[in-house]
């Protein structure tokens, strides 16, 4: 059915070995052969069979990326960065969405294992160390994204979430806020915990008195922010916090939407809001959102680069790359 190398070889009047050489190391083949083979390929519409190639080679030119939340633009940006870097190495990035579902997470890991990907990028949700260890045993490189590797067994690329939480909190305190609420969850997500921890630290180190309450959400979507915002506004006005620190921008956007509806609260005059991630939609919100930026593209690019290095050199030692977060001040915290 499909055109194979054998067909091309026959048409060009050479052996299959020569066809392979033309494709993979043309410099070692005479110009004449290259021309004839190239022409035969053209005429027959030959396309390499990746499966056969991989079977022989043992590894593929594909990298897997297991993502926590495909609906969050932050992760889309990270993926995008990885793709950019990958395409420079003629490598394809295959991605799978786990949607914070442990089962799907494991499913994708196994799938990528079967496909003998060159390496795996993963923004982990559940506890997958056992699965990752199996990959490692099979010689597949693993790089954690957006999560510091606690035991240092794997390389990781992340942002210092604790520092980020501190940045956000310090900003709120500096701009005069004293009754602050952290909105986020679930707390078994490492990122959420770290951001809260940073906020707590900043509150304690401040040389003024600051209260920091925690408003727990079920998830990290816009809807969760809306619900929390509504709940906060139901309090008597004197009990309102004067600032909200959302665990990510999606929640922050939900909060914003809730507060602004019908002018129930003025942002930032009555209540300031700051998010985390600095997704593109944060700047585009009608009250542009202050946020703690993670260098998402850069993180993706870096993760992929490290992954390829480790895939090339099995002896390499895992390293933790931590980027600093960056405070981005917009109208949602500072009135103009």
Partner DNA sequence: AACTTACCATGAATCGATTCAGCTTCGATT
Partner DNA sequence: AATCGAAGCTGAATCGATTCATGGTAAGTT
State the residues that interact with its own copies by CB under 8 A: 1-2, 45, 47-52, 54-55, 58, 60, 70-71, 73, 76, 79-80, 83, 87, 92, 94-97, 104, 107, 110-111, 113-116, 134, 137-139, 222, 226, 253-254, 256-257, 260, 280-281, 283-288
The residue (of 5 and 222) whose beta carbon lies closer to DNA is: 5
Give the one entry of DNA, its own copies, none that residue 10 binds, where binding means its C-beta sits below a cut-off of 5 to 8 angstroms depending on kind. Answer: none
Residues 6+ apart with CB under 8 A from 47: 2, 3
Q: How far apart are CA 125 and CA 97, in angstroms?
A: 11
Closest listed residue to residue 93, CA positions, set 280, 278, 295, 308: 308
Beta carbon of residue 19, minimum distance to DNA (angstroms, whole number): 7
Closest listed residue to residue 158, CA positions, set 317, 295, 304: 295
Residues 6+ apart with CB under 8 A from 108: 64, 66, 96, 98
Give the one entry of its own copies, DNA, none that residue 38 binds, where binding means its C-beta sits below a cut-off of 5 to 8 angstroms depending on kind. Answer: none
Give the one entry of DNA, its own copies, none that residue 97 binds, where binding means its C-beta sits below a cut-off of 5 to 8 angstroms depending on kind. Answer: its own copies
Residue with structure tokens 């991989």? Answer: 54
∠ Cα 134 138 142 (to 5°): 70
Beta carbon of residue 219, minimum distance to its own copies (angstroms, whole number): 13
Phi, psi values for residue 50, rounded to 5°: -65, -30
Beta carbon of residue 53, minimum distance to its own copies (angstroms, whole number): 8
Q: How many CA atoms lie within 13 A of 14 on its CB side?
A: 22
Element (H, E) at 244: strand 243-246
The residue (of 238 and 314) whose beta carbon lies closer to its own copies is: 314
CA distances from 265 to 211, 221, 270, 277 (A): 20, 21, 6, 24
The residue (of 22 and 221) whose beta carbon lies closer to DNA is: 22
Beta carbon of residue 271, minimum distance to its own copies (angstroms, whole number): 14
Give the one entry of its own copies, DNA, none that residue 6 binds, where binding means its C-beta sits below a cut-off of 5 to 8 angstroms depending on kind. Answer: DNA
Give the one entry of DNA, its own copies, none that residue 222 binds, where binding means its C-beta sits below a cut-off of 5 to 8 angstroms depending on kind. Answer: its own copies
Give the one entry of DNA, its own copies, none that residue 87 binds, where binding means its C-beta sits below a cut-off of 5 to 8 angstroms depending on kind. Answer: its own copies
The residue (of 53 and 178) whose beta carbon lies closer to its own copies is: 53
The residue (of 33 and 193) whose beta carbon lies closer to DNA is: 33
Residue with structure tokens 């990781």? Answer: 156
Q: How far apart are CA 65 and CA 146, in angstroms?
A: 12
The residue (of 100 and 320) whose beta carbon lies closer to its own copies is: 100
Q: How far apart are CA 128 and CA 230, in angstroms?
A: 36
- Residues lying near DNA in the complex (CB under 7 A) are found at 1-2, 4-6, 13-21, 23-24, 28-30, 32-33, 46, 48-49, 52-53, 55-58
The residue (of 1 and 208) whose beta carbon lies closer to DNA is: 1
């Amino acid at each position: 059915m499909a055109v194979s190398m054998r067909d091309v070889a026959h048409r060009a009047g050479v052996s299959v070995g020569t066809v392979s050489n033309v494709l993979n190391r043309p410099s070692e083949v005479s110009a004449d052969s290259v021309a004839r083979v190239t022409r035969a390929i053209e005429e027959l519409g030959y396309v390499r069979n990746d499966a056969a190639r991989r079977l022989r080679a043992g590894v593929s030119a594909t990298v897997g990326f297991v993502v926590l939340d495909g609906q969050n633009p932050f992760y889309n940006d990270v993926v995008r960065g990885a793709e950019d870097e990958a395409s420079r190495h003629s490598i394809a990035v295959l991605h799978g969405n786990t949607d914070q579902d442990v089962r799907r997470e494991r499913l994708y890991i196994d799938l990528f294992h079967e496909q003998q990907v060159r390496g795996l990028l993963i923004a982990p949700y559940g506890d997958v160390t056992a699965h990752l260890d199996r990959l490692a045993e099979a010689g597949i490189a693993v790089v954690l994204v957006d999560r510091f590797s606690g035991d240092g067994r794997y390389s990781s690329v992340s942002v210092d979430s604790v520092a980020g939480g501190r940045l956000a909190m310090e900003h709120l305190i500096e701009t005069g806020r004293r009754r602050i609420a952290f909105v986020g969850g679930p707390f078994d997500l490492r990122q959420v915990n770290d951001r809260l921890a940073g906020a707590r630290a900043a509150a304690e180190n401040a040389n003024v008195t600051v209260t920091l309450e925690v408003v727990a959400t079920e998830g990290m979507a816009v809807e969760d922010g809306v619900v929390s915002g509504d709940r906060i506004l139901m309090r008597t006005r004197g009990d309102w916090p004067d600032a909200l620190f959302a665990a990510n921008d999606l929640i922050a956007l939900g909060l914003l939407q809730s507060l602004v509806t019908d002018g129930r609260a003025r942002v930032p005059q009555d209540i300031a809001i700051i998010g985390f991630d600095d997704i593109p939609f944060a700047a585009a919100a009608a009250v542009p959102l202050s946020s703690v930026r993670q260098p998402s593209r850069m993180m993706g690019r870096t993760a992929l680069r490290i992954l390829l290095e480790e895939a090339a050199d099995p002896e390499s030692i895992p390293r933790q790359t931590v980027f600093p977060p960056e405070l981005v001040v917009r109208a949602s915290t500072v009135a103009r």
